Amino acid sequence: MNDEVIATLGASAPRRIFASGVMGILGFLLFYLATLANAAFLWSLVLCGLAVGVIWMAWWQWKITEQVIELTSTELRTSGGLTLARVEDVTGVDRGALAFKPSQGFLVRTREPQDRAYAPGLYWRMGKSVGVGGVTGAGQGKFMAEQLSAMIGQKD
C-alpha cells in the first residue's frame, strides 16, 4: 500500500485565533451576563454553565485545529491517526453551495455508516456522511475534494 500524502488540509494560525477567540469572547460574555445584579440565581447558574461549556469548546477547538487532514491513496485521515473514511468506501464528494457541509469544505458520502466523531472547525462524521472543513482554507479544501473525486472516478 502506498501511504504517500496526496493532499493536506489544515487551519492557518489567523483562522485558528479568530475562531477560538470568538468562542472565548462569547464564553466571557456569558459569565458577565451571569454576574449582573438583576439576574435570577437560577439563570445565573445556567449562564455560568453555558459559559464554562463555550470556553471549553474554544480551548478544544484551539487544540484540535493543530492537526491537519491528510488524503492518501487509501484513506482520508487526521495527522493524529484517526481514519475519517477509507477511499474504497467513498461513494461521492459534494462541494455544492446547497450541500450540508462545513464552511470552506466538502461532504464525503460513504457506503457504510461509521461511528460519530467531531472536531470543531476541522471535521464531523455522522452516519454515512463526513463533513470536512470549517476553519480550513478554501483552496486546500477544493484541491482535496477534487483529488478525492478523481480517485473515486478512477475506481469506477
Q: What is the pLDDT of residues 74-123, one digit of tens each?
A: 899 999 889 999 999 999 898 877 778 888 889 999 999 989 999 998 99
Same domain, 26 and 86: no
Domain for residue 60, yes or no?
yes
How many structural domains comprise the chain?
A: 2
In which domain, by residue range, is 26 found? 11-64
**Per-residue confidence (pLDDT) for residue 35, from 0 to 100:** 86
Whether 15 and 80 share a structural domain: no
Question: All 3 cell numbers of residue 26?
Answer: 462569547
β-pair partners for 131? 107, 124
Q: Is residue 3 part of a domain?
A: no
C-alpha 38: how far from chain center: 38
Q: Is residue 37 part of a domain?
A: yes
74, 146: one domain: yes
Rg (CA), the chain: 18
Average pLDDT of the chain is 89
* Domain end position, chosen among 64, 81, 98: 64
